[in-house]
Structure 1
Amino acid sequence: MPSIPTRRTARFAAVGLLAAGALVLSACTGGTAEPTPTATGAPDPDASLTVGLVLEPTNLDIRHTSGAALEQILVDNIYEGLVTRTQDNEITERLASSYEISPDGLTYTFTLNEGITFHDGAALTSADVVASYQTVKSDASVQGNAQFAGVTAITAPDPATVVITLAQPDQNFLFTLTGPAGLVFKKDDGTDLKTAENGTGPYVLNRWTKGNSITFDRFDEYWGETATLGEVVFQYIPDFTAGVNAALDGTLDVLTAVDPNLVSQLEDDGGFLITTGRTTDKATLAFNNAKAPLDDVKVREALRLAIDHEALVEAVGAGQTLYGPIPELDPGYQDLSDLAPYDPAKAQQLLEEAGHENLDLTLTIPSFYGTTVAQVLISDFAKVGVSLEVDRVEFATWLEDVYTNHDYELSFVLHVEPRDFGNWANPDYYFGYDNAEVQRLYAESQTEIDPERSAELLAEAARLVSEDHAADWLYNGETLTALVPGVDGFPEDSINSRIDLTGVTKTAD
């Protein structure tokens, strides 16, 4: 089962779409981004930091509920895995002090750090890791179950060592462990994960005021470096103008998902620092490849050629053009702009050849995304004889109708997860795209031990997907974050998928 995500409006909402399943992951280039310093005084070790976010989780059970809304706040703060990933998607140790991969790519051996305890005070041992991963392997309702299909054994030779054996090499397996599938839970724990937690991270859950906020407190018995904030309040404000107003009236210290059109208010009126971060957010205009008239490649190509991508990015106000399914932060990226240049005349010609000189289509879009993208598409499509009706729906409706039932023609969401190219190799995914060669190349890329060769295979597959015009990738999103003076170390990149609070400080008022 796959997994979707999303993000903001006009700079758009960081949202994890999904209620269903898996996640295919990514590695990356470059070093960890250095957050822009804003603090001038001494950090307050007991400071309270209030962060404005867009999408509130429906529950806190990250084991059984997918979506960026949970990963964004829980991973690395409440729950931890053997490994984690940096802002630029490089893999690094977390609960494990070290790991080794056998030359044949089949055996992963992890050594645990010493002194790790759960929030209830129980010591973590390799038995907890084995039990957690055995559950992922055996329970189809648990996040990451599909990614553990190739796991043949999970053992604990001693209390500090975990050995995982695979049936065949899996280029993405270690990255899988940086997500929900790799999180470690206490063996035989009776905690109700929907409303409570018992992790190993530097913060504990204080309270959840549904419809309003989630509050974390510092866990003073944390096994690693103690958190540098006393309290963090995640304030959920789904309206972007309301979020800016909350920042300006002093309610928020940090506002994520800033609408580019409102940046000047924060800079000029509030003195906020605005940071721009990289993401793996793919603003995807999905075509239902299994439903007429989108089952005709000429129609799909025509729609792509009709879109002025440069103008759309300018209208959105943040991001960069993206003409294929792999963003720059993921392995396999290449510039595919040659496959969909802005050419409305050719778009009209293709539609005529397909017998659709006048075409009526419906775009189904979650209502929190605002109007910018839809307005641009309506205008661009009208120029080539395509009338676009926009159906704005609640996110739950989108999940049911589009994601689950595949009942749509065109749809728009931001897919935020890194390394999710596997969705294009899955004919049962809501895209309805089925290409045997793409599936073969993707499968080969995952069993390829050499990461460079694996990336080459992904690039080859991605070009085929774009040549088939299986969708249109409107842009690769950037994330705009506003910080009050005195906040330092807040992450800039990839914060739609997680906000690691490690090292974030706030000066005394």
Structure 2
Amino acid sequence: MLEPTNLDIRHTSGAALEQILVDNIYEGLVTRTQDNQIEDRLASSHEISPDGLTYTFTLNEGITFHDGSALTSADVVSSYEAVKTDAAVQGNTEFAGVESITAPDEKTVEITLASPDQNFLFALTGPAGLVFKTGDETDLKTAENGTGPFTLQRWSKGSAITFARYDDYWGQKAGLAQVVFQYIPDFTAGVNAALDGSVDVLTAVDPNLVSQLEDSGQFTITTGRTTDKATLAFNNVRAPLDDQRVRKALRLAIDHEALVEAVGAGETLYGPIPELDPGYEDLSDVAPYDPDEAKALLNEAGVEELDLTLTIPSFYGTTVAQVLVSDFAKVGVSLEVDRVEFATWLEDVYKHHDYQLSFVLHVEPRDFGNWANPDYYFGYDNPKVQELYAQSQAELDPDASAELLKKAARIVSEDDAADWLYNGATLTALTPGVSGFPKDSINSRIDLAGITKTAG
């Protein structure tokens, strides 16, 4: 887990905040389960009109903010109006199609869209959908006033964040009186902290170190599914990556099965949609391991001796880069690895598109829309994909929407717009007394309420 830079989830993006704050400190009308299914949260129920334009939510009874004030539909309206009208608020772009947000009474919220949006309800399960007190003057960077089962007790910056159970919680009370998130700077130090009894749960265990925990006999290790897409991005508008033959050759040169084995966890992934998201299809037929064909394609493109640079955030370690250097060398491609701080990656690659190849874990669920955005850092521009994506979002039937996404995803993979090295798995080590700790999707949120610990 990465430590947040501040706690203001309204104005700060990133999985570090969503992982610990959503459902624990702050809540939305709806939330999502570990397998990405949508369920009601602050709302006791919701209805969508037959034309897909009007969403009506009924609030649960007895909800209070942590300062003791009662939540009403007016708080939802003011929260969502801020998302809709303020570009600085997280989720603003996801509310672009919202026409009106009203409260017919204290327990009812009505949201009307200009046109159907298959992803809108899912967007409400993220930061865009969180509800805050109207006119609250809490400094959200260092404090909070949510409705969740926990309150913020203290934050020792650079070390730990402590939550305490909120005893006046409107729903089922949390199983733990206190939870401490310890931020440990590297994987080895994390394993050592687990072995010496400093932590009860270690998340994001390095697969190459997991045997130390298993050999100790003190831990249960769970392997969880994620929507983490380990993406080898190609700059589609910069030579030589603007030539599909070169992109295809690079994909064919990678032994994906061996790469997953080297990483130590995860599954192969040959397209932009992971198994937990709508539109998934096994696309392994598109780019099977074939170094001979890779060489032939490079020869055809006139670039048999190719020098490329991979820009990679330094915290990802060396395994992926080492495998790519080795695999590419076998087809005559020399790969230079440029390790950079994440802030540099955001500035150079993400913002200014100044790169040839890049590697990053795209962890957000249902983010296929990036492939329908020619201005995104991939530089991928296919009008057919954009059309299919737009149709999928306007489609009222979820199954029909998923079919459209599936078609679009196959085109993206067949265009060799990138390579998807693997779908990440997350390893968690638990001491015997801990039960109810979530297993899947904890890279994007850790729902703490159902966790219990017995003395051991």
TM-score band (shorter)? Answer: over 0.9
What are structure 2's unaligned runs of at least 5 residues? Answer: none
Tell me the amino acid that sits aligned with residue 197 of structure 1. E
Aligned CA distance change for structure 1 residues 208 and 270 (closer, same or farther; 3 Å): farther
Name the residue aligned to 2:318.
371
Q: How does 1:396-415 map to 2 (within 5 A)?
A: 396-415=343-362
- Residue 450 of structure 2 aligns to a residue whose secondary structure is coil
Partners of 1:386 and 1:371 in 2: how far apart? 19
- Residue 46 of structure 2 aligns to a residue whose secondary structure is strand
Query: Are 1:358 and 2:305 an aligned pair?
Result: yes
| C-alpha RMSD of the superposition | 0.8
Name the residue aligned to 1:68.
15
- Residue 115 of structure 1 aligns to a residue whose secondary structure is coil
User: How far off its partner does 1:270 sit?
Assistant: 4.8
Partners of 1:393 and 1:440 in 2: how far apart? 36
Once the two structures are superposed, residues 353-388 of structure 1 have per-residue CA deviations (whole angstroms, 9 ceiling, x without a partner) of: 111111111111111111110000000000011111
Name the residue aligned to 1:155.
102
Once the two structures are superposed, residues 166-211 of structure 1 have per-residue CA deviations (whole angstroms, 9 ceiling, x without a partner) of: 1111101100000000000001111111111110001011111111
Partners of 1:355 and 1:60 in 2: how far apart? 51
Name the residue aligned to 2:69.
122
Query: Are 1:230 and 2:194 an aligned pair?
Result: no
- Residue 260 of structure 1 aligns to a residue whose secondary structure is coil
Q: How does 1:443-482 map to 2 (within 5 A)?
A: 443-482=390-429
Q: How does 1:5-44 map to 2 (within 5 A)?
A: none
1:273 to 215, 220, 227: 220
Q: Which runs of structure 1 show a deviation greater than 3 angstroms over 4 or more consecutive aligned residues?
A: none
Tell me the amino acid that sits aligned with residue 130 of structure 1. V
Query: Are 1:485 and 2:432 an aligned pair?
Result: yes
Tell me the amino acid that sits aligned with residue 98 of structure 1. S
Select between 470-479 and 205-214 the one with higher mean Cα deviation: 205-214
Query: Is the CA contact 1:363–1:411 (under 8 Å) kept in the aligned structure 2?
Result: yes
Name the residue aligned to 1:346.
293
Partners of 1:412 and 1:299 in 2: how far apart? 17
Once the two structures are superposed, residues 106-159 of structure 1 have per-residue CA deviations (whole angstroms, 9 ceiling, x without a partner) of: 100000011111111111000000000000000111111111111101000001
Partners of 1:356 and 1:152 in 2: how far apart? 52
Query: Are 1:112 and 2:59 an aligned pair?
Result: yes
Tell me the amino acid that sits aligned with residue 483 of structure 1. L
User: How far off its partner does 1:346 sit?
Assistant: 0.8
Name the residue aligned to 2:163.
216
Higher relative contact order (Cα pairs below 8 Å, separated by 6+ residues): 1
User: How far off its partner does 1:238 sit?
Assistant: 2.9
Tell me the amino acid that sits aligned with residue 321 of structure 2. A
Tell me the amino acid that sits aligned with residue 304 of structure 1. R
Partners of 2:348 and 2:83 in 1: how far apart? 28
- Residue 338 of structure 1 aligns to a residue whose secondary structure is coil
Partners of 1:59 and 1:409 in 2: how far apart? 32
Partners of 1:110 and 1:152 in 2: how far apart? 16
Name the residue aligned to 1:167.
114
- Residue 462 of structure 1 aligns to a residue whose secondary structure is helix
1:186 to 133, 138, 159: 133
User: How far off its partner does 1:508 sit?
Assistant: 2.1
Tell me the amino acid that sits aligned with residue 89 of structure 1. N
Tell me the amino acid that sits aligned with residue 292 of structure 1. A
Name the residue aligned to 1:302.
249
Name the residue aligned to 1:59.
6
Once the two structures are superposed, residues 271-315 of structure 1 have per-residue CA deviations (whole angstroms, 9 ceiling, x without a partner) of: 110001111111100111121111111111010000000000011
Partners of 2:177 and 2:42 in 1: how far apart? 22
User: How far off its partner does 1:262 sit?
Assistant: 1.2
Partners of 1:505 and 1:179 in 2: how far apart? 25
Name the residue aligned to 1:434.
381
User: How far off its partner does 1:421 sit?
Assistant: 0.2
Name the residue aligned to 1:501.
448
Tell me the amino acid that sits aligned with residue 294 of structure 1. L
Tell me the amino acid that sits aligned with residue 277 of structure 1. G
Query: Is the CA contact 1:238–1:368 (under 8 Å) kept in the aligned structure 2?
Result: no
Query: Is the CA contact 1:248–1:270 (under 8 Å) kept in the aligned structure 2?
Result: no
Partners of 1:272 and 1:291 in 2: how far apart? 48
Partners of 1:214 and 1:145 in 2: how far apart? 28
Tell me the amino acid that sits aligned with residue 22 of structure 2. V
Tell me the amino acid that sits aligned with residue 416 of structure 1. V
| TM-score between both structures, scaled by the size of structure 1 | 0.89
Partners of 2:349 and 2:145 in 1: how far apart? 35
Partners of 2:161 and 2:354 in 1: how far apart? 34
User: How far off its partner does 1:470 sit?
Assistant: 0.4
